[in-house]
Structure 1
Amino acid sequence: MEKLEKTNEGSFFSGNYQNLFKEIGKTDEEIARRIECNWNELFGVNNSNRIYHQVGDDVGYMLDTGNLDVRTEGMSYGMMMAVQMDQKDIFDRLWNWTIQNMYMTEGEHAGYFAWSCQPDGTKNAYGPAPDGEEYFAMALFFASHRWGDGIEPFNYGTQAREILRTCIHNGENGIGYPMWNHENKLIKFIPDCEFSDPSYHLPHFYELFALWAYEEDRPFWQAASDASRNYIEISCHPVTGLAPEYAYYDGTPNDENGFGHFFSDSYRVAANIGLDYEWFRRDSSEIEVANKLQAFFSDKDPSDYRRYRINGEAFDEKSLHPVGLLSTIAMASLAADGPDRLKWVELLWDTPVRTGERRYYDNCLYFFSILALSGHFKIWMPKE
């Protein structure tokens, strides 16, 4: 894997963010209207297509409309969207609901968050999903830097550092499991297993955790960032760029339960590559993976996206989240340098948010892509 030198090209160093919508001819006014319109479609109180629901005076939740539950994935995504949009009230409502209903205080998962709850707050499970924890921590750091810390539970920075401490130190007292493997520094699918999910790997987050976590934990996060970039490269197919949903630590697909193919979870890998390259530009292999992925889908109709083996062989089964997949392919344009990189940006611009019962996952990925491609998925640094 070729490492790139630290330069002023990545947004972290330069403070500049690509705006690919402007590259396809959209004006600042058009882009601002689009972001606001899409935000209102997901979060507007009176919008029938919303996935955010306000409850009472101080809480709110993100509904998985396909499964009719509330997941740490969606709650942490909603918090990240809110901090990027400067919507502190919604951020605090989501975090309040999360703390009240998802946070676990006892047992082997103490300090983690129950990954699925009913809309009334009843836990459906007492296990965590690591993609929620890492997004919670990053969103909380950004909130701390953008708005400042308040009283608990709105002491955002402390909350973020405590989450990260639990993620890597849980189990040291003989109870529970960490969310990262301490030897190879790779994130697990769930704490008590020893395989991974390529879409959980967020090296751009870990770079920032290495700056803002408790000081004694910072070397771990820097090592995790390097390990995850390498893992993304080895888990993506060398020809198609497709990644499996689950994979072993050597990057090979884990298909023990049918999750070794390119399907719903896998879509996020393209988005993560795009944002990591936009922020840090550490690894040129991300350009290659993004180009291969976009080339693979270049002749495919979004209305006919399928489940695929990572070698590109298509199943009869159609994608459950075609808008989400299209969104992440477009977000990969932040890293891609192929001839069609802007084609995907135009295609996303011309695609509306998804409606219907499956809209939750698609529209989360969609809105992240809209933010990123417009230069509005930003790193919020501590105020001097």
Structure 2
Amino acid sequence: MSSVVRQGAFHTNQYRNMLFDYGYALSEIEDRIHTCWKQLFGDSPDTRIYYEMGKDMGYMLDTGNVDVRTEGMSYGMMMAVQMDQQEIFDRIWRYTMEYMFINEGPNAGYFAWSCLPDGTRNSDGPAPDGEEFFALALFFASHRWGDKNETPFDYGQQARKLLNTCIHKGAEDGYGFPMWNLDNKLIKFVPSCEFTDPSYHLPHFYELFARWANPEDQQFWMEAAVASRHYLTTACHKETGLAPEYAYYDGTPNNEHGYGHFFSDSYRVAANIGIDAEWFGVAPELSMIAERILTFFSDKNPEDYRRYTVAGLPLEDKALHPVALIATNAVAIMASANHEHARSTVERFWKTPLRTGSRRYYDNCLYLFALLALSGRYRIWHPQ
């Protein structure tokens, strides 16, 4: 990878408010953020995705599948720490530990990726995108609010323990698998398989893990950050910038189960590249991917978004989450703020409302993340 050309917020503690830079008033931006939060975490029946359970728990509901997923739970915790909502953070984390944490078997130490709202598990297997978001949200909680003396609210210790499991699972007893391939340092789709999901690659998270994980694990995480940045340059198409949902370690699409095209998971790659640029500086190769994505979608009508081959051929399936795609494309501009289509991409996002209806969960999660990122409110919380 080439050297970074713009120092990121990790070093400067300066976060760009791209919405303000593009002409939106600060009062409008703040109102949009707080209104969005209330619509997702309040009692609006058309947009809410957070629900409380009993006196001290809460969960994020995948409204399309009517289940609770580690993806959404970890997203909810990240949103809560960014919005300084510790009670909601703790409610989600308490539910997660009560119903989703796996205590025994080959996946002990991970989290069951799906359960019913009442806590009944749909699976005893994990999905690594949840674990990596849990870990960083816990670190941020530790740094922003301080660790409590009670388990599991000793946030920092919980994060370090989880990351240690992610890369050392099975090393001593051969029981279970790590979530990363220890040779190439790439995250797996699930621990027992040997392929990946490009949207799971979060080099900006790994940079922070390399500073805050157990000392003996820090070198691994720094190497993982380098490996994932390089991997994205191989997995994203050289002309369109599009990534497949699943891919092999050499970057080629994995079509064995029909997931080798650009579809719902893939949307997150654009946003991940944008956040990586904001936090740790613009890497030219990743900026080029962002530019290709912005160019590819510049002449597309959101009402006709599709599943695409990575080469850009539209397929029959309509996009399942068009609002999510609009949101993540907007975040991509943070890696290429001067691109000719950056302003129009942000304008498209600003004019798009939250999604209503049964499929709102994924769209609205990525919408709020985009809003936080573009307003400079998706921040690194450092140790005090």
- TM > 0.5 between the two? yes
Residue type of the alignment partner of 1:368: F
Question: How far is the alpha carbon of 1:46 from its aligned partner?
Answer: 4.8
One-letter code aligned to 1:159: Q
C-alpha separation between the residues in 1 aligned to 2:347 and 2:379? Answer: 22
Give the aligned partner of residue 48 of structure 2: 50
CA contact (8 A) 2:262 2:307 kept: yes
Instruction: Quote how far apart the aligned CAs of 1:18 are.
Output: 1.1
Structure 2 residue 153 is the aligned partner of structure 1 residue 154 = yes
Within-5 A mapping of 1:85-164:
85-150=83-148, 151-164=150-163
Which residue identity is paired with 1:225? A
Cα offset for 1:49?
1.7
The answer as to whether partners of 2:46 and 2:356 remain within 8 angstroms in 1 is: no
* Equivalent pair of 1:248/1:254 in contact (CA under 8 Å): yes
1-structure distance, mates of 2:292, 2:318: 21
Q: Distance in 1 between matches of 2:212 and 2:83?
A: 22
CA distance in 2, matches of 1:116, 1:58: 20
TM-superposed deviation, 1:344: 1.0
SS at match of 1:63: strand
Letter in 1 for 2:168: H
Identity %: 60
Distance 1:223 1:282 in 2: 18
Counterpart residue identity of residue 223, structure 1: E
Find the counterpart in structure 2 of residue 212 from structure 1: 212
SS in 2 for 1:315: strand
Distance in 2 separating the partners of 1:239 and 1:352:
30
- Kept in 2: contact 1:188–1:194 (CA 8 A): yes
**Equivalents in 2 of 1:241, 1:192: separation in Å?**
28
- Identify the residue that residue 290 of structure 2 maps to in structure 1: 290
Q: Distance in 2 between matches of 1:280 and 1:46?
A: 36
Counterpart residue type for residue 24 of structure 2: K
Q: What is the deviation of 1:227?
A: 0.1
Post-superposition offset of 1:2: 1.5
Q: Determine the structure 2 residue equivalent to 1:252.
A: 252
CA deviation digits over 1:13-49, x for unaligned, max 9? 1111111110221122111111000001100035442
Pairwise CA distance, 1:11: 0.6
Shift of 1:282: 5.5
Match of 1:269 in 2: 269
Q: Aligned pair count?
A: 381
What TM-score does the superposition give when structure 1 sets the normalisation length? Answer: 0.98
SS at match of 2:299: coil
Q: Verify the 8 A CA contact 1:40 1:47 in the aligned structure 2.
A: no
Q: Residue 81 of structure 1 corresponds to which residue in structure 2?
A: 79
- State the match for 1:16 in structure 2: 14
Q: How well do the aligned residues superpose, as a CA RMSD in angstroms? A: 0.9
- Residue of structure 2 equivalent to 1:350: 351
* Runs of 5+ consecutive residues of structure 2 not aligned to the other structure: none
The aligned counterpart of 2:378 is 377
Does structure 1 residue 316 correspond to structure 2 residue 320?
no
Instruction: State the Cα deviation string for residues 131-155 of structure 1 (Å, max 9, x = none).
Output: 0000000000000000000021100
CA deviations on 1:252-274 (whole Å, 9 max, x unpaired) are: 00000100000000000000000
Q: Where does structure 1 lack aligned partners over 5 or more consecutive residues? A: none
Q: Does 1:331 align with 2:331?
A: yes
3-state DSSP of counterpart to 1:17: coil
Give, in whole Å, the separation in 1 of the partners of 2:356 and 2:207. 36
Instruction: Tell me the distance in 1 between the aligned counterparts of 2:46 and 2:372.
Output: 22
